[in-house]
Amino acid sequence: MKNNIVIDIRMLKNSGISNYIQNIVPNVVNHFKNTNFIILTASDSDYKYIINKIYSNNYKILKINSQVYSFFEQIEIVLKLKFYKINLYWAPNYNIPIFLNANFLITIHDLWHLIDKSWNRFYRRLYSKIMFFVISKKNSSIIAVSNFTKNEIISNTKIKNNISVIKHGIERHWISTKSFKKNKDILFVGNIRNHKNIKLLIDTFINLNLKSISLILIGQNNNYLDETKYLNKNIKFIKEISRKRLIDYYNNARLLILPSIYEGFGFTPLEAMSCECPVLLSDIEPLKEICGNGAYYFDLKNSKDLKNKILLLINNESLCDELIDNGKLNIKKYSWEKTSNETIKKIDKLLVS
């Protein structure tokens, strides 16, 4: 009898998780040709570009109408799966159906929902606490996307075992088309949220008063910042952008800066390295783990250090050349083929056990 594996791909609109789903799910489905896959999609999701990468007909689409993170998804998913004998339920995020009787494989990208103590994030923090507690009681196997995330899981939840580190990959379409040396723009790429620490970057940029340099912030604002405060400050906000245009922005930037106070992995520094754009990062553990000596770091605890490091990199081309050479070596460690193969091995073991 064939195995039945459920894969939840409903979070295709959630940047980092979407990147993960797009690059790994087709490879996994194509590998297990003699397995039946039940793929959960959101009712408003455009999933065809993933399905088009699947070469066999060993899958079935189940649309879930309930919102992600809602109470109703807990009921709807269980009801729609009740006629299947499920060998494995693979969730690319921690929001599993808690009433479903199944073995689980859960990919955890970071613990920000649990770590964030903001008063207006109480519900989200409570939800994540409940979820991680339930996961610890289920027959669950965990994929952590970095050693940092694995240690965070062990330190902040009751999950202590069955955690494998399988790091993300980087696509090969991020390429360099020109030298950074004549560029002037400072770039940030990522959704604007509290843990991205954008206010520090903006305040530092304004304080530098660099008349001929612009700060370009690419990503959804989500009402975290009042953009009207920064008119006529050489600061540009771009909410949505195509991949081709983003490659152009990386290639036309003098510097990518990511001042985060918290990350689980960090795609954008690797994208910038691939485009041979110098990278300046906060000195938090996960970014140092993923980016190594391919990036320069500023002291997050020293409010003046970001300013000093920006000036240093803008005025020191030889240091930037060194970073770019190191970055080329660093990105060789990351590929979606490697991520897929390690995930396939993980699933193989779970199906046998």
Query: Does one domain contain both 126 and 15?
Result: yes
Best mean pLDDT range from 57-61, 142-146, 242-246: 142-146
Does residue 295 fall inside a structural domain?
yes
pLDDT recorded at residue 120: 82
Q: Check whether 15 has a pLDDT greater than 80.
A: no
247-272 pLDDT, tens digit each: 999 999 999 999 999 999 999 999 99
Q: Are residues 14 and 103 in the same domain?
A: yes
pLDDT at 232 over 80: no
Residue 290 sits at φ, ψ, to 5 deg, of -80, -35
Residue 231: the pLDDT is 79
Residue 49: pLDDT band with limits 50, 70, 90: confident
Mean pLDDT, residues 91-97:
96
Q: How many whole angstroms from its chain centre is CA 128?
A: 18
Please tell me the predicted confidence (pLDDT) of residue 206.
94
Considering the domain architecture, whether residues 87 and 203 belong to the same structural domain is answered as no
Beta bridge pairs of residue 217: 188, 237
Band (pLDDT 50/70/90 cuts) for residue 233 is confident
Q: Is there a single domain that holds both residue 162 and residue 201? A: no
Q: Which helix (H) or strand (E) holds 280?
A: strand 279-282
Same domain, 38 and 55: yes
User: Could you give the residue ranges of the DSSP H alpha helices within the chain?
Assistant: 15-31, 48-51, 71-81, 112-115, 122-137, 147-156, 198-208, 243-251, 267-274, 285-291, 305-315, 317-331, 336-352
* Residue 228 belongs to some domain of the structure: yes
- For 13, the token pair is 């609109």
- The answer to whether residue 113 is domain-embedded is yes
Together in a domain, 284 and 248: yes
- Say if 173 falls within a structural domain: no
Residues 153 and 18 in one domain: yes
pLDDT at position 188, please?
Answer: 97
Q: What is the CATH number of the domain that holds 209?
A: 3.40.50.2000
Percent of all residues in the chain with a pLDDT value above 90, rounded to a whole number: 82
- Examine residue 347 and state whether it is found in any structural domain, yes or no: yes
- Asked if 79 and 219 sit in the same domain, the reply is no
Q: Give yes or no: residues 8 and 138 share one domain.
A: yes
Separation of alpha carbons 168 and 166, rounded Å: 7
**Per-residue confidence band for 81, with pLDDT thresholds at 50, 70 and 90:** very high
Q: Can you give the pLDDT at residue 61?
A: 95
> Domain range spanning residue 270?
180-331
pLDDT grade for 199, boundaries at 50, 70 and 90:
very high
**266 and 122 housed in the same domain:** no
Pair 194, 48 in one domain: no
Structural domains of the chain, count: 2
Residue 265: inside a domain: yes
Residue 64 main-chain phi, psi, to 5 deg: -110, 120
pLDDT at 277 over 90: yes
Could you tell me if 19 and 164 lie in one domain? yes
Residue 207 lies in a domain: yes
Residue 264 lies in a domain: yes
Is pLDDT at 71 greater than 90 in this prediction? yes
Q: Which of 5-14, 230-239, 269-278, 298-307 has the highest mean pLDDT?
A: 269-278
pLDDT in tens, 142-180: 999 999 999 999 999 999 999 999 999 999 999 999 999
Confidence at residue 252, expressed as pLDDT on a 0 to 100 scale: 95
